[in-house]
Amino acid sequence: RKEVEQDPGPFNVPEGATVAFNCTYSNSASQSFFWYRQDCRKEPKLLMSVYSSGNEDGRFTAQLNRASQYISLLIRDSKLSDSATYLCVVNRGGSYIPTFGRGTSLIVHP
C-alpha cells in the first residue's frame, strides 16, 4: 500500500459545483498535513494546511480524520481557475521528508 494515496481523477465538474477529494495515508505516526495545488507546467504551491479541527479558507475546506487516516478537501462554488492538480502532503513525526500523493486532477468547465 502506498504511503499516501489519492484518486488521480480527473474530476470534471461545471462551474459553481461543489467537489471533494480524499487522500488516505498509511502511517499512523503522521503529524502534519497539507494540500498543495499544481498548475500545468508549474511548481506545486501550498494551498492550505490541514488542522485537526478542520479549517476553512474562503471556498476551500480541509478536514482531517485521524481514526480513518484520511484528509479531505472540499471546494465550493468551483471556478474555472480552480482547474489544477491537487496534491496531498503528509509529514511523519520526526521526519524531514514530506510524502506527496500523486495528485488529483480537477477540471472545471463552463
Partner 1 sequence: NAGVTQTPKFQVLKTGQSMTLQCAQDMNHNSMYWYRQDPGMGLRLIYYSASEGTTDKGEVPNGYNVSRLNKREFSLRLESAAPSQTSVYFCASSDLIPGGNTIYFGEGSWLTVV
As beta bridge partners, residue 37 has 45, 86
Q: Is 40 in the site for partner 1 (CB under 8 A)?
A: no
Among 16-24, 42-50, 56-64, 73-81, the segment contacting partner 1 (CB under 8 A) = 42-50
Based on the shown chain and the rule CB under 8 A, indicate whether residue 27 belongs to the binding site for partner 1.
no
CA atoms of 70 and 83, how far apart (whole Å): 23
Closest distance of CB 79 from partner 1, Å = 23
Q: Up-side HSE of residue 51: CA atoms within 13 Å toward CB?
A: 6
By CB under 8 A, tell whether 95 contacts partner 1. yes
In the chain the first and final C-alpha atoms are separated, in Å, by 37
Is residue 11 part of the contact set for partner 1 (CB under 8 A)?
Answer: no
Distance CA 96, CA 99 (A): 10
List interacting residues with partner 1 (CB under 8 A). Answer: 31-32, 34, 41-46, 49, 87, 89, 91-98, 100-103
